[in-house]
């Protein structure tokens, strides 16, 4: 079979690798190079780096749907999408013989949208999975060819779970795509009444207010938003990112107050406490919470209310 691949971040690379095992990849479409870091130097997306390393042709249009004829020229049997980052218009969806197949990192119809992994962790879901689905004009509303469930492990971060789902999705795609293309595997419609939305994550959502948030909510935020954008609070008017934390026995300190307790840093929450393990103060690198507190001469830190 002849395929075109659409994907951008690191979690799309295993899917591209799996596609190469079962199809001739005629073209890889990914997002344009973007400025990164303080230097604002242009950096290629991970899919571009991988594709060029494998000798595959790469296209980086600003708008993938702008020129369907550019894809039609490659005469694809199917197009495969994994975390591409753009909505695809109907005129483009009609180009491949078998349409566009998406590797989505949730058990549809739960968590339709851009951030299914983060939303699953924030909601306290115990399980998630991957779905191989047909793309239609809606947002992750198309019928599902195959799905595989997996537990969300204790302490698993958004980044760690995404990487694991990428590997799971890659294996499931390789097992199901031949049947999709030859017509032997049929898709089932989603139950729209069970759908939940996984909106794109905004940095403001990652704000943690331990005086108002429960211990469970704080720990879920730290996990879900790792590594990006990172759960964050405000101490002495500056942002501090909470890179990792774990449950702690209740402490006598008040909600929203962090202080040393032996060699650990304990942060009071609305209903208990968490132990901060790794933090990143504004303008500094990641450090242990104990080193951060020692730099404050062990003066307790008060986490402030949401910024205006």
Q: pLDDT of 113-148, one tens digit each?
A: 999 999 999 999 999 999 999 999 999 999 999 999
Q: Which of 85, 86, 48, 92 lies closest to 66 in space, CA to CA? A: 92
Strand order in the sheet with 144-151: 58-59, 24-29, 2-7, 78-82, 100-104, 127-134, 144-151
Domain 203-302 has CATH 3.40.50.11260: no
Domain segments of the chain: what residues?
2-198, 203-302
2-198 fold:
Rossmann fold (3.40.50)
How far apart are the C-alpha atoms of 79 and 133, rounded to whole Å? 12
The pLDDT of residue 307:
59
Token pair in block for residue 215: 């211990």
Phi/psi for 307 (5° steps) reads: -65, 150
Helices and strands (H, E) in the chain, number of each type: 8, 18
Q: What is the pLDDT of residue 35?
A: 87
Give the lowest-confidence range in 14-23, 84-93, 107-116, 252-261.
Answer: 252-261
As a whole number, the mean pLDDT across the chain is 95
Q: What is the 8-class DSSP label of residue 303?
A: B
**Is the preceding peptide bond at 227 cis, omega within 30 degrees of 0?**
yes
Is 20 within 8 Å of 54 (Cβ atoms)? yes
pLDDT tens, position by position, 209-265: 999 999 999 999 999 999 999 999 999 999 999 999 999 987 677 899 999 998 999
Q: What is the pTM of this model?
A: 0.94
pLDDT over threshold 80, residue 38: no
The pLDDT, as a whole number, for residue 39 is 75
pLDDT at 178 over 70: yes
Q: Is the per-residue pLDDT at 308 higher than 70?
A: no
């Amino acid at each position: 079979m002849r395929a075109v691949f659409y994907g951008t971040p690191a979690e799309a690379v295993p899917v591209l690798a799996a596609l190469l095992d079962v199809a001739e990849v005629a073209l890889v479409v990914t997002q344009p190079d973007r400025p990164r870091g303080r230097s604002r130097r242009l950096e290629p997306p991970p899919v571009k780096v991988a594709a060029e390393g494998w000798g595959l042709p790469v296209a980086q249009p600003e708008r993938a749907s702008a020129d369907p004829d550019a894809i039609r020229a490659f005469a694809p049997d199917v197009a495969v999408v994994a975390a591409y980052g753009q909505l695809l218009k109907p005129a483009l969806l009609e180009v491949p013989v078998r349409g566009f197949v998406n590797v989505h990192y949730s058990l549809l119809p739960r968590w339709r949208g851009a951030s299914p992994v983060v939303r699953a962790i924030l909601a306290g879901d115990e399980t998630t999975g991957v779905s191989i689905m047909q793309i239609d004009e809606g947002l992750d509303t198309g019928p599902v060819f195959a799905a595989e469930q997996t537990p969300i492990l204790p302490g698993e971060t958004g980044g760690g779970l995404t990487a694991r789902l990428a590997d799971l999705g890659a294996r499931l795609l390789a097992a199901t795509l031949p049947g999709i293309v030859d017509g032997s595997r049929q898709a089932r419609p989603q139950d729209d009444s069970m759908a939940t939305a996984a909106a794109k994550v905004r940095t403001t959502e990652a704000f943690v207010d331990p005086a108002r948030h429960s211990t469970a909510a704080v720990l879920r935020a730290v996990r879900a938003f790792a590594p990006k954008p990172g759960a964050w609070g405000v101490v002495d008017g500056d942002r501090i990112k909470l890179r990792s934390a774990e449950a702690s026995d209740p402490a006598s300190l008040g909600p929203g107050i962090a202080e040393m307790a032996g060699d650990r840093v304990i942060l009071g929450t609305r209903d208990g406490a968490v132990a901060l393990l790794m933090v990143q103060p504004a303008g500094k690198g990641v450090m242990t919470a104990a080193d951060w507190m020692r730099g404050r001469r062990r003066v307790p830190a008060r986490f402030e209310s949401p910024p205006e």
